[in-house]
Chain A
Amino acid sequence: MEIRPILSALMRNKASLVLIGLQVALTLAITCNALFIIGQRMDHMHRPSGINEADTFTVGSNGFTADFDVHATTAADLAILRAMPGVADATTANSLPLSSGGWSTGVNLRPNQTTATAQTALYLVDDHGLDAFGARLVAGRGFRPEEIEEVAFGDQLKPRVVVMTKALADAVFPDGDALGKSIYLHETEPSTIIGIVERMQQPWAESDSIEYTTLVPVRMPYGNASRYVVRTDPGRRDEVMKAVEQKLTEANAGRIIGRMRSMEAIRAEAYAGDRAMAIILGTVIVALLGVTALGIVGMASFWVAQRTRQIGTRRALGATKFDILRYFQTENFLITTLGLALGAVLAHALSLWLMQQYQAPRLPWYYVPVGCLCLWLLGQLAVLGPALRASRVPPAVATRTV
């Protein structure tokens, strides 16, 4: 193979070698780390919330008249919502997954325990809660109507029964026998676990314990405000959302109907930052690959122009068109390889820096080799045009003066 003459030619033109090599190295380092971050964000965004998202929405009511009866209004609203055509079920709820505002508290195994066993999010729902959210029960049962307590705003919760997620149940009772056991959400009053749901995420997308959730059978208005979660029949969400404001206002005009958002909108908002990060880094990667490819094209074109006479001489001395093509392709391969070797080191250095600075996880090993393959390919494609032009240089050029 003709590597040695290519190398010696390259060594005489170190500047171009360094420039393209450096560009390839930086491109590899940035692309690998940026792709890794994008992958993490994608995984983060696609975690299931455990509830029906496609057909679910939330709506709030906030009374403003002096004689507003929030308990009566809530009961009347629930009856209206559940009777509406297209509604599968509805519940009161203080919050819902990913909505970014909610309550959390410690789960204890003993009364007056000083350090909590786990932190849980609390969803205050009624006997329609599990069905309205579309959460999947994996053990035990949901709440019965007689278990629902009306608690005054600002009073402590002392639920006699609770339903919790499997993740929380397993964390608090590692033997997997949570059903029927007691926990303490209140300082001294125990709560019996009567049901376990497969999954129901907390309201906070960035929570470390996003899968730790407890449902309690409580209706508690927030001042004069109450909130409902409504699940519609498949495909009828938008239609129900349009009708619901008027329906509730007609029933009682002394309040504001608001904060209506679909679960899809809530998810989009919760992950807007991750989505933006993925898109911005994706754009940088595309621009980076484009600039690097154009740089290779530019430099290769220049070399071809520079060496037109030598190419002619080689052709005149018997080199085939293919030999010329192969020369430039091999040359690019060598430069890219040198760049990639440096780039692999840079990629890991950048990953280390991100780990130190932002507690990011380590770049998995396979990113660099895959990145190398892609950049080799990119280099070969970029140089193909100029190399083909070089191969078409006629041997007669050798005999001409410039």
Chain B
Amino acid sequence: MFGYYLQLGLRSLRRNPVLTALMVIGIALGIAASMTTLTVMHLMGSDPIPWKSDKLHYVQLDNWSADQPYSDDGRPPDQVTYRDATALMDAARADRQAAMFKLSLPIQPENAEVKPFQALGRVTYADFFPMFEPPFAYGGPWDRAQDAEHARVVVLGQALNEKLFGGQDSTGRSVRMGGIDYTVVGVLGKWNLRSRYYDLTNGAFVDPDEFFIPFTTGIDLKARSSGNNSCFRSPGDGWDSYLASDCVWIQMWVELETPERLAEYHAFLDRYVDEQKKLGRFPRPLNNRLLDVNEWMQDQQVVSRDIEVQTGLAFAFLIVCLVNTIGLLLAKFTRKSSEVGLRRALGASRGEVFRQFLVESGVVGLAGGLLGLLLTGFGLLAVRALYPDYRTVAGLDWTMVATTILLSVVAALLAGFYPTWRACRVQPAAQLKM
């Protein structure tokens, strides 16, 4: 019976091409607007590492000034000092821990034909790799012993390895950065990182890190981080006083396997801060935080407010499109009253007529969904053009394709419900009279 209804529906849609086109375009526009914005919003906020996002925690300590809070809403600073980062690394109380910062270094390729260039990388500890699980194409991470030795080793990102070594296995070779030679121990493969969630202070949607070097080695360079640095009082002159200062510029992550471990680590942090208070630091009340990946992303508003507003308005637009479709379907079905009367008089039950018209609405929804999918594709291209940083979050995956079609059909069926119900109430006798 479904096949027959489908045939009837298609025939009826072909009979009024203009009205059908209006309905399909209306639904397609509404679907495209909502799906484009929803996709971007969904991908921006989606869990970047779902299998362990509840185990990775971002360390925040409130070492700010007694005279004013770091932020008016009472949140502690979003980064930690060198003193605290290294103290926590040395204590090694978490299952894994990695302090890190962003650093820009000039790179002098062996190949004289490639001009020296500037690369942005990350200075961090060996644990970074098992914690955030970037895929390795060649080699692997350095180890904790090399952290302790201030080893001059580097892990290259895929793009930088492509640029320097043509994408070949470069492990064991050396790269000259800032006048110092580093030995390549590993090369990353394609890391599908939607947002750089481990350093939200310096932007969630930025180019991936091009290289990684050990933290201890990076500090020896006495080079300031290329990322954000905040101080509530002057750090004084020179590198050593900067390291000893209360300026925050380092991101610190810990991995804690169980909630018990988390509670233990929280208690450890509180004890640590109490110790520091005795030394005259941390004048503010205890305000340590250990947010997990998703909480930290929410705290830092990775999903931009603009995108939320756009999504809200796009769905309001979809509602207008649906109301429009209801009106048009109502017009269409009312016009077919005599056909309904005839079918009813020939023995079709109300339920059968109901199903027939609902199938017709569904067909409109399906057509709208397919066209909407195409328009969503264009919409996402437009988003990429408008927001160059969002290329990692403006793409369709199969879930979103399926959602688009489903949303469209469901929307059209909903829109078709009232007109269909009206059509079914037709009295056969009234319509058959001439």
Contact = CB atoms under 8 A, between A and B. Distances in A.
A91 B334 CA distance: 76
Interface string A48-72: 0000000000000011111000000
A62 B104 CA distance: 10
B238 A305 contact: no
A194 interface: no
Contact of A64 (B179, B236, B305): B179
A109 interface: no
B224 A222 contact: yes
Which has the most chain B C-beta neighbours within 10 Å: A66, A223, A272, A401? Answer: A223
Contacts of A358: 305, 308-309
Interface stretch (A127-135, A235-243, A274-282, A368-376): A274-282
Contact of A187 (B234, B237, B335): B234
B67 A298 contact: no
Contacts of A65: 179
A273 B306 contact: yes
Interface stretch (A172-180, A284-292, A388-396): A284-292
A401 B305 CA distance: 60
Interface size range on A against B: 35 or more
A26 B316 contact: yes
Main secondary structure of the interface of B (DSSP, over half): helix
A26 B68 CA distance: 46
Contacts of A10: none
B323 A26 contact: yes
Contacts of A402: 434
Interface string B271-308: 00000000000000000000000000000000011101
B406 interface: no
A288 B386 contact: no
Interface string B50-82: 000000000000000111100000000000000
B330 A19 contact: yes
B26 A258 contact: no
B346 to A, nearest CB: 20
A112 to B, nearest CB: 10
Interface in B368-387: 383, 386-387
A396 to B, nearest CB: 19
Interface in B177-201: 178-179
B418 A156 contact: no
A280 B320 contact: no
A256 B314 contact: no
Contact of B330 (A15, A62, A276): A15
Contact of B328 (A64, A288, A298): A298
B335 A291 contact: no
B334 to A, nearest CB: 7
Contacts of B309: 37, 277, 354, 358
B233 A64 contact: no
Contacts of A186: 234
Nearest to B314: A284
Contacts of A250: none
A295 B386 contact: no
A358 B307 CA distance: 12
A393 B306 CA distance: 51
A232 to B, nearest CB: 25
Nearest to B65: A114
Interface in A136-163: 152-156
A263 B132 CA distance: 38
B324 A30 contact: no
A15 B418 contact: yes
Nearest to A354: B309
A356 interface: no
A27 B320 contact: yes
B106 A154 contact: no
B252 interface: no
Given A30-B320, A66-B179, A256-B106, A291 B224 contact: no
B419 to A, nearest CB: 9
B319 interface: yes
B108 interface: yes
Interface string B223-249: 110000000011011110010000000
Contacts of B327: 16, 19-20, 23, 295, 298-299
A299 B29 CA distance: 19
Nearest to B418: A15
Interface in B11-33: 19, 22, 26, 29-30, 33
21 contacts: A16-B327, A19-B324, A22-B323, A23-B327, A33-B313, A34-B313, A64-B108, A66-B179, A114-B66, A154-B224, A154-B239, A187-B233, A256-B115, A256-B118, A273-B306, A275-B386, A276-B386, A284-B310, A284-B313, A295-B324, A298-B328
Interface of B: 19, 22, 26, 29-30, 33, 37, 65-68, 106-108, 115-118, 178-179, 223-224, 233-234, 236-239, 242, 304-306, 308-310, 313-314, 316-317, 319-321, 323-324, 326-328, 330-332, 334-335, 383, 386-388, 418, 422, 434
What are the 7 tightest A-B residue pairs by CB atom distance, in nearest-first order? A302-B331, A64-B106, A276-B386, A295-B324, A114-B67, A19-B327, A155-B237
Given A64-B108, A272-B387, A295-B26, 10 more contacts: A15-B422, A26-B316, A64-B106, A114-B68, A154-B239, A256-B117, A272-B386, A288-B320, A295-B324, A298-B328
